[in-house]
Amino acid sequence: MNSAAELTQLGSIAVITMNHPPVNGLGLDLRTAIVAQLDRALADPQIDAIVLAGGERNFSAGADVREFGTSKPSAAPNLPDVIRALEAAGKPVVAAIAGNCLGGGLELAMGCHFRVALRDASLGLPEVKLGLLPGAGGTQRLPRFIGVESALNMIVSGQPVPAQKLAGTALLDEVVESGVVDTAVAFARQIVADKRPAKLARDIRIKDPLAEPFLQFARTNVAAASRPFPAPLQCVEAVANAVGKPFDEGLRLEREIFAALMASPESRALRHIFAAERAATKLPDVSEVPADMPLREIRRVGVIGAGTMGGGITMAFVDAGIPVVLLETKQEALDRGLGTIRRNYETTMKKGKLTQAQLDERIARITPTLDFSALADVDLVIEAVFEEMSVKRDVFTRLDQVAKPGAILASNTSALDLNEIASFTKRPQDVIGLHFFSPANVMKLLEIVRGAKTGPDVLATCMNLAKRIRKTAVVAGVCDGFIGNRMIARYGAAAGMLLMEGASPQQIDGALQRFGLAMGPFRMADLAGLDIGWAARKRREAEQPGSQPRSAADVLCEAGRFGQKTGAGWYRYEAGKRDPIPDPAVDAIVEQFRRDSGVTPRKISDAEIVERCIYALVNEGARILEDGIAARASDIDVVYLSGYGFPRHRGGPMLYADTVGLANVVRALRRIAAAPGAEAWWQPAPLLVKLAEAGRTFN
Ligand code: 3HC
Ligand code: NAI
């Protein structure tokens, strides 16, 4: 007997239970086991009917995504073969659905003759989120069971629906509160007794006069909303086939589209992101951090500094139901910080996303204080004070005195040396970096910075905490800028060089936005505030004289142009608006700067802009991997996707480099490095060269 699906006999009913952790993914093992158990049940004269069940949490989450990219999904029996076998079975087959019933899992259930579901089971066809469409009959069967409009909404959005919402449709014969397998067994007995014939999807004809106009409407809307992804529109076409073509023809066309989408770069990118996000949750060094390591309990959190970041971090915790003690130095600053938090919640309330009672509850979770000793009983403190080592020293020295033993002491520093910060305490094992991104209550990314002495349980606790506050966490090592900002500094510098050589801020931003970035580097700098980079450059110059040659950005800052907050930066902004308006004053500053530096501007193409800026990111990413700052290339992709608006259809900078081909990236970098004075800056990273020469990829 194959353990991926077990058969038990309850009188004349055979129950086939899928048991393939973690989620009953329909890999070759499970598919083979289902068919083997089905054949056993069909051959047994004592068996009258069959129930197909999964686990409590997962009926099945669909095709086994780990098989994608191998020959296994098409190996016999493939998923359509299994579904055909169920559908053609000579004895009634009843699906007993609990937990996730997604993608191929729902397609499997729809191939059964009847379906019984637990009311909170989650039914959906999320393939579109992986850049695919349901490839085992989902686009043909679901519209026949629940109607074109509902089916199309589920297929195009990929959003699952609780079973109770589908009660009363031909999809579900019964929806129950509990005991789904027992009910399915009783149901199967009744069917046998009543000799009730199966109602197969293939026998249903869609007779909906509104289907055609709805499909036409969907085509227009979906085409506009889903660019650059091809899958959503293909979902509409496949459902249109369910309306207009015979069932088997619809199935054949669906399979064809599925194969084409599977080969598309967009699907590759989305599947990479799915795997990358899950890989990032795994602690980088498993041997050092065992899976069963006891975590520290985090019930109350302290936040120091109620400025831009402290306020957002406080909101992230209270939104997740975790109370916060918020410390400032002066009453005025505390009032200002709390006022901003309240205003942010009021804006959310005006949009109808928060009730007055919820707002009051969240505010009540914040205990404002000016007294350091109020932090004595919190389990975690996050410092978000000014980015100056002397201020951090003062804060961590005092924290070391008041925090209870075992409390985690975290810094939100953007770039300062975490090991030095840890050295201000007598408990460096409890010190960690929690680098949130602005606005901290909105941005998904959290870089968890592991110091040289950070305890493995502290690291594991923070990874777990990230999930509680719904952040995408990535572990980074200590260096200037960690993963994200270290890379963005190179990207920004590449953009700065292009500006010097002849491109305008709007041309550079435009080229990168057309590549897919949410915002080009100059718009992003204006949003973040040019003063932040200016302060960092001054700090680096003080540490390493001569390392920060004067730039046009310095000239802008000297003129008080700090970006959106001052109404002018690389662009100008009208009061209360965020639209960047090209500013001749900036052109004049840049042109003067070029003249002063003896540069004759040249014409630069959009392709060159994208090549230089993105390869600068990739090259630094390779160095970050080499230095062990990131554990995996896919972690870097997660950072850029969740924190920097990198286009999802490209899967992150490292996957993009893989897609272009690392040998091509190295060639381009060498070509750029061959220009006079460019050799050192553009030298390809040794790891990049090594992988390219071996014909390998980052991922
Ligand atoms: N195949 C294989 N493994 C899967 C999987 C799948 N379809 N779905 C999830 N997993 C794995 C995850 O990689 C993770 O593994 P790990 O512990 O080794 O990291 C584990 O299951 C748990 O996953 P999550 O961390 O995501 O757990 P959650 O409880 O948060 O979510 C879930 C569970 C809702 C099932 C979520 O994982 C999910 O949405 N999965 C994807 C479902 C999907 O896209 N199905 C369609 C596949 S394509 C298809 O079916 C094609 C067909 O039409 C032909
Ligand atoms: P901010 O200037 O808006 O706020 C800092 C706050 O800390 C001020 O309200 C100040 O009164 C308070 N403060 C200063 N010293 C204090 C002390 N000893 N005790 C208590 N409170 C004190 O600064 P911002 O932008 O919030 O930055 C804070 C930290 O977060 C810095 O380390 C910064 O590098 C980091 N960071 C900033 C990001 C940003 O986009 N602004 C992004 C990620 C990290």
Task: Write the residue with the smallest CA distance to atom 25 of ligand 2.
Answer: 308
Q: Give the tens place of pLDDT for each residue, 128-163.
A: 999 999 999 999 999 999 999 999 999 999 999 999
Convert the pLDDT of each residue in 241-272 to its tens digit.
Answer: 999 999 999 999 999 999 999 999 999 999 99
Give residue 332's pLDDT. Answer: 97
Please name the residue ranges forming H helices in 378-434: 389-402, 418-423
How far is ligand 2, taken at its centre, from the CA of residue 421, in Å? 15
Question: Distance (Å, rounded) from C-alpha 657 to C-alpha 675?
Answer: 22
Ligand nearest to the CA of 392: 2
Q: 22: CA distance to ligand 1 center in Å?
A: 8
> What is the pLDDT, as a whole number, of residue 71?
94
CA distance 243 to 255: 17
Sign of CA dihedral 241, 243, 249, 250: positive
Give residue 549's pLDDT: 85
Q: Which amino acid is at 464?
A: N
Atom number in ligand 1 closest to CA 73: 54
pLDDT on residue 286: 55
Residues of the chain with pLDDT under 70: 1-2, 284-289
Strand partners, 445: 472
Q: How far is CA 259 from CA 191, 223, 382, 522, 578, in A?
A: 38, 20, 48, 40, 43
Enumerate residues lining ligand 2, CB below 6 A. Answer: 304-310, 327-329, 333, 384-387, 391, 394-395, 412-414, 436-438, 528
Query: Which ligand ends up closest to the CA of 141?
Result: 1
Ligand 2 centroid to Cα of residue 378, in Å, is: 20
Reported for 244-248, long-range contacts at CB under 8 A and 24+ positions apart, including other chains, are 247/140, 247/201, 247/202, 248/202
HEC sequence for 227-258: CCCCHHHHHHHHHHHHHHCCHHHHHHHHHHHH
Contact predicate 313/385, CB 8 Å? no
Dist CA 130 CA 306 (whole Å): 40
pLDDT at residue 351, rounded to an integer: 95
Could you identify the atom of ligand 1 that is nearest to the CA of residue 274? 13
> What pTM was estimated for this model as a whole?
0.94
Atom 20 of ligand 2, nearest CA residue: 328
What residue owns the CA closest to ligand 2's atom 1? 307
Q: Ligand 2 pocket test: which of 303, 304, 309, 441 has the largest number of ligand atoms within 8 Å of its C-beta? A: 309
Confirm if 452 and 419 have CB atoms less than 8 A apart.
yes
According to DSSP, the residues that pair with 197 across neighbouring strands are: none
| Element containing residue 154 per DSSP (H, E) | helix 148-157
Q: Identify which ligand lies nearest to the alpha carbon of 371.
A: 2
- How far does the centroid of ligand 1 lie from the alpha carbon of residue 177, in Å? 25
The contacts of residue 452 (CB under 8 Å, 6+ apart) are: 419, 422, 428, 478
Q: Which ligand lies nearest the alpha carbon of 251?
A: 1
**At 470, which amino acid appears?**
R
The pLDDT assigned to 3 comes to 82
Q: Could you tell me if the CB of 261 is within 6 A of ligand 1?
A: no
CB distance 90 to 128 below 8 Å? no
pLDDT of residue 289: 67
Q: What is the pLDDT of residue 288?
A: 65
**80 cis-preceded (ω within 30 degrees of 0):** no
Judge if the upstream peptide bond of residue 228 is cis by omega within 30 degrees of 0. yes
CB of 104 closer than 6 angstroms to any ligand 1 atom: yes
628 φψ region: left (φ > 0), alpha (ψ -120 to 50), beta (else): left
> SS3 of 100, please?
strand
Minimum CA distance residue for ligand 1 atom 42? 61
* Catalytic residue annotation: 107, 127
Of all protein residues, whose CA lies closest to atom 44 belonging to ligand 2? 414
Which amino acid type is present at position 476? A
